[in-house]
């Protein structure tokens, strides 16, 4: 039996420099304030989701207890605790979007992608989620994918977006790089 090498999650030097820069923006002893930004980085660098091992690493980096990281990572829906597709489509299903047909948008995406909400396509391209208000109520129905919003959705727009993503499998960045 082949024994696999164990590679614990570790940020690159470049990323560590970014983490230090962010932590340095807060007063001494308040490094926990950097937690959400560092979790975004970890999610982007370690495969799009946060394992217990990754969360423990972040706790270690910020010198806080693992439970403080778990509390935050499990509270916010923007953090994934299990693998997701390259493109995570989050369709707003709060009141104003529902009034403008969000339920039809979700149904259309389910049918087009062949998955239900909270599922991922077999090819690993798409995960479909529904989300609470994303703050673009005036452009309903809408969805978020990575750092981009797609608004006033119609079946035609969804077709064009999904087709384009399928042809160009570069995941959108969920985290904006820091200089
Ligand atoms: S209700 Fe959908 S963005 Fe606000």
Question: Integer distance in angstroms from the first to the last C-alpha of the chain?
Answer: 45
Task: Say whether pLDDT at 173 is over 60.
Answer: no
What pLDDT, in 10s, does the model give residues 87-103? 999 999 999 999 999 99
- Atom in ligand 1 nearest the alpha carbon of residue 136: 3
Helices (H), the chain: 13-23, 35-45, 52-62, 66-75, 95-99, 102-113, 155-167
114, 152: one domain: yes
- 5, part of any domain: no
- Atom in ligand 1 nearest the alpha carbon of residue 140: 2
Biggest alpha carbon–alpha carbon distance for the chain: 58
64, 120: one domain: no
Task: Say whether pLDDT at 5 is over 80.
Answer: no
Q: Pocket residues for ligand 1 (CB within 6 Å)?
A: 92, 94-97, 133-137, 140, 142
What is the pLDDT, as a whole number, of residue 1?
65
59, 108: one domain: no
pTM: predicted TM-score of the whole model, two decimal places: 0.78
Task: Say whether pLDDT at 169 is over 80.
Answer: no
Instruction: Say what percent of the chain tops pLDDT 90.
Output: 79
Calculate how far, in angstroms, residue 49's C-alpha sits from the geometric centre of ligand 1.
Answer: 25
114, 61: one domain: no
Question: What residues make up the domain containing 48?
Answer: 13-75
Calculate how far, in angstroms, residue 166's C-alpha sits from the geometric centre of ligand 1.
Answer: 26
What pLDDT, in 10s, does the model give residues 99-118? 999 999 999 999 999 999 99
């Amino acid at each position: 039996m082949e024994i696999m090498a164990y590679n614990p999650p570790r940020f690159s030097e470049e990323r560590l420099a970014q983490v230090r820069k962010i932590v340095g923006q807060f007063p001494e002893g308040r490094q926990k304030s950097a937690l959400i930004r560092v979790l975004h980085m970890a999610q982007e660098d370690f495969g799009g989701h946060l394992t217990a091992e990754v969360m423990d690493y972040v706790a270690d980096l910020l010198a806080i207890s693992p439970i403080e990281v778990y509390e935050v990572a499990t509270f916010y829906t923007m953090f994934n605790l299990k693998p997701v597709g390259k493109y995570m489509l989050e369709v707003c299903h709060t009141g104003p979007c529902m009034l403008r047909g969000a339920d039809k948008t979700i149904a259309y995406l389910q049918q087009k992608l062949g998955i239900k909400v909270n599922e991922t396509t077999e090819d690993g391209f798409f995960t479909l989620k529904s989300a609470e208000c994303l703050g673009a109520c005036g452009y309903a129905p809408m969805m978020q994918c990575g750092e981009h919003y797609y608004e006033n959705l119609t079946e035609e727009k969804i077709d064009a977006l999904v087709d384009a993503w399928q042809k160009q499998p570069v995941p959108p960045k969920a985290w904006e790089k820091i200089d």
